[in-house]
Structure 1
Amino acid sequence: MVSLSVLDLSPVSPNGTQAQAVRDTLEVARAAERLGYERFWVAEHHNIQGLGSPNPEILIAALTQATSRIRLGSGGVMLVNYSPLKVAETFMELEALAPGRIDLGLGRALGADMRTGGALRSVGSEAFPQYLSLLSTWLLDAAGKAPIGDAHPLHDIHANPSGPSHPDLFMLCSSAESAAFAGQAGLGMVFAEFIARADADAAIESYRKAFEPSEFRQTPWAGAALIAFAAETADEAWRLDAPRRAGSVAMMEGRRQRFPDLAEAEAYLAERKGTPLLQMVEARTIAADAATVRARLEAKARSTGADELFVMATGPTLADRIRSLELIKPS
């Protein structure tokens, strides 16, 4: 079976709190390590009531102490919200806590609406190439792979703590254009299929064609992140996935709405039965028994050419999420 990893957004459980959602993520990570998943990544989202983590670096620090083997990373840090030097220092410190286990996944977007981006003092996505160049320079310097020379404008500014290693660098993409940029930069690439609502095939092909070796990576590496949920039976999985499908349809209709009650979610979906939006969401839904989910993941890996798949188990409760990971765990 294709290599599997986990992307966790710290979703708030029904009648739960955002604070509990952060603690739940630690439990999901422990389960993912026990079950043999390759990586465990956490996300950055701001001003979204249904998600609990705006600070992946804080969670990763906690996860370095809660796990011992699994790779830990950000999916991703929204680079334009921050100083590249601060991001380099933060992730070099994480690398010091868990050498050889840290992934730095970067996003070009804000991880928020425009007003919230303004409150974060984001400089906007157009600054991403410059910020990436600065970040890369400081990481490679800190790890001793490409020391900043005396003639460089940054020659007297260094990211601490220094190496001897640096985090692996990835770019999160939602289009063929951004995937090609990741390839040209010589980074790993993960296509966020759950956001793009498009298959990863074209983006991964674009990435591989554009790839140029770099200090970070000599050969291309492409992943795809998608929602996959398994339960004991296909009917049960489909039922438990109803709040996630209802929330997706609501978002496509232009509003954020949580559905903590299964009956409310099913009623909402029933009212929209046969509509193009619901049909679109259902066509992209992987929610079934374990064998069916595993078969669909294998088919997805073959069709996209992905080296690894990141799964988001979005069951309504912590127990549902962990049980899903148990059912589709790597063989």
Structure 2
Amino acid sequence: MLKLSVLDQSPVPAGSSHTEALHNTVRLAQAADRLGYTRFWVSEHHNSQGLAGSSPEVLISTLAAKTQRIRLGSGGVLLPHYSAYKVAENFRVLDALYPGRIDLGVGRAPGGTPHTASALQGGSANVFKGLDRFPGQVEDLIRFLTDSVEPGHPLEGIRATPLVGTVPQLWLLGSSGQSGVYAAQNGAAFCFAHFINGAGGQQVVRSYKSAFRPSQLNVVPQAMVGVYVICAPTWEEADRQARTLDLQLLMIEKGRFTGVPSPGDVEAYSYTEWDLSRVQDNRKRMIVGAPDQVKEQMALLAADYGVGELMVVAAGHDFGSRMRSYELLASAFQLT
């Protein structure tokens, strides 16, 4: 049976607040726990009016305290901005408190504008330097998580505390091939963001599997795919809900993302021919429909990628419709 997980970006619908968005993330994690989803990840975005999640480590601690069994993780920590040592310690604390339930997903995206990235890196004039050191950061992160700093290494003698006997699951996240290369080289798990890039991901995952090197983290490759899913009782209703995501993605491409648009915003927007072509192309990043339709499409997508788990990003203007998507999916896949 296909495993389903959740990625929640704490979206802020038009007319709502960041505080409300974070509380909705907590409610959604509790529902995912109850409905039988495998894991629940939260994202990291900065200086964003439309997304409230800026500190996944803090949010994960709250979610873990308010759920029972579901795995909690970051989707993901933007490693180039931070010290690998401090990230390892943050997630060791979480793993010590909630053993066997913590995932550490890391990415190399800036998570905001260059100006914001500079602020995250202490005012650095070269915000892209973090991308160059990302491969080494991943290696250091693994050394700290597994207590495997080699003799003679500059980090010899340094251990990440607390000292625990478990290791968070390490996932590298990406929407192109490079993160898959790093994941394979280091024996880490890999999640491809189909919801960001709907083209070419299948070959990325195949390449990751073929190049995978066994490690202390994983003996065999472990891959997952994230995808937008909008599920409603009928296709017509799902399509209406998807139109808010259509406009949201279009606005992001135009650099004008201020929140999740409302159905009224969709009705009022005047689409150009170019807009409509972008909407059509962006639908490749989504699965939209009634439960049976969505289940079939999700199974086909998983088979096409060769994975046994999909991470669902249920989009929509209102929290109720997103919650309903997850409830319908759980029933269609008989998760509980």
The alignment's TM-score, normalised by the length of structure 2, stands at 0.92
Q: Please name the residue that 1:71 is paired with.
A: 71
Give deviations 1:273-307, integer Å, cap 9, x for gaps: 87321221234432211111111100101111122
| SS class of match (1:216) | coil
- After superposition, the Cα gap between the structure-2 partners of 1:74 and 1:153, relative to the gap in structure 1 and judged at 3 Å, is same
Q: Which moved more, 1:276-285 or 1:96-105?
A: 276-285
Q: Are the counterparts in 1 of residues 260 and 317 from structure 2 also a CA contact under 8 Å? A: no
Q: Are the counterparts in 1 of residues 227 and 286 from structure 2 also a CA contact under 8 Å? A: no
Q: Please name the residue that 2:188 is paired with.
A: 187
Q: How many residues align?
A: 326
Q: Please name the residue that 2:140 is paired with.
A: 134
Q: Are the counterparts in 2 of residues 301 and 308 from structure 1 also a CA contact under 8 Å? A: yes
Which stretches of structure 1, 4 residues or more, deviate above 4 A after TM superposition? Answer: 269-274
Counterpart amino acid of 1:50?
G
Counterpart amino acid of 1:301?
A
Q: Please name the residue that 1:172 is paired with.
A: 173
* Structure 1 gap ranges (5+): none
Q: Please name the residue that 1:318 is paired with.
A: 319
Percent of aligned positions that are identical: 40
Counterpart amino acid of 1:167?
P
CA–CA distance in 2 between the matches of 1:21 and 1:220? 34
Q: Please name the residue that 1:8 is paired with.
A: 8
Q: Are the counterparts in 2 of residues 231 and 237 from structure 1 also a CA contact under 8 Å? A: yes
Counterpart amino acid of 2:97?
L
Deviation at 1:272, TM superposition (A): 4.8
Give deviations 1:137-182, integer Å, cap 9, x for gaps: 11111xxxx3x46644223322111111010111001112321221
Q: Which moved more, 1:249-258 or 1:206-215?
A: 249-258
Q: Please name the residue that 1:39 is paired with.
A: 39
Q: Please name the residue that 1:222 is paired with.
A: 223
Counterpart amino acid of 1:304?
Y
CA RMSD of aligned residues (A): 1.7
* Structure 2 gap ranges (5+): 122-126
Q: Which moved more, 1:176-185 or 1:106-115?
A: 176-185
The alignment's TM-score, normalised by the length of structure 1, stands at 0.93
Counterpart amino acid of 1:166?
V
CA–CA distance in 2 between the matches of 1:136 and 1:259? 37
Q: Which moved more, 1:205-214 or 1:169-178?
A: 169-178
| SS class of match (2:172) | strand
Q: Please name the residue that 1:296 is paired with.
A: 297
Q: Please name the residue that 2:110 is paired with.
A: 110
Q: Are the counterparts in 1 of residues 88 and 144 from structure 2 also a CA contact under 8 Å? A: yes
Q: Please name the residue that 1:93 is paired with.
A: 93
CA–CA distance in 1 between the matches of 2:78 and 2:293? 34
CA–CA distance in 1 between the matches of 2:119 and 2:216? 35
Q: Which moved more, 1:283-292 or 1:128-137?
A: 283-292
Q: Please name the residue that 2:257 is paired with.
A: 256
